[in-house]
Amino acid sequence: MNKWLELLLGLILLIGAILVGWLSHAYDWTLFGKSLDFLNAAWILLKGGIFWLVILVGLILIILGISEMKD
């Protein structure tokens, strides 16, 4: 694919996702009584990802510490 086309498509997708997230948060988007607040969902996903990353790094450090104690 052309590098300029890839850059333009990536920019359109990025701006589109930011706009959808902001508009769904700013205005009340509901479907069958359920809120479609994509910005809130993205924030929750990010917080969950950080939580699991910290847990996995902790586990890796414990495993590395145990393996060094054997030597």
How much of the chain is helix, strand and coil, in % rounded to 5? 80, 5, 15
The pLDDT, as a whole number, for residue 71 is: 64
pLDDT at 27 over 70: yes
Q: Which two tokens stand for residue 4?
A: 């300029």
Q: Which two tokens stand for residue 67?
A: 């393996």
For residues 3 and 11, give the distance between their C-alpha atoms in angstroms, rounded to a whole number: 12
pLDDT at 48 over 90: yes
pLDDT at 51 over 90: yes
pLDDT at 32 over 80: yes
Residue 28 backbone phi and psi in degrees, to 5: -85, 95
Average the pLDDT over 49-61 and give the result.
94
pLDDT at 31 over 90: no
Instruction: Name the pTM for this structure.
Output: 0.63
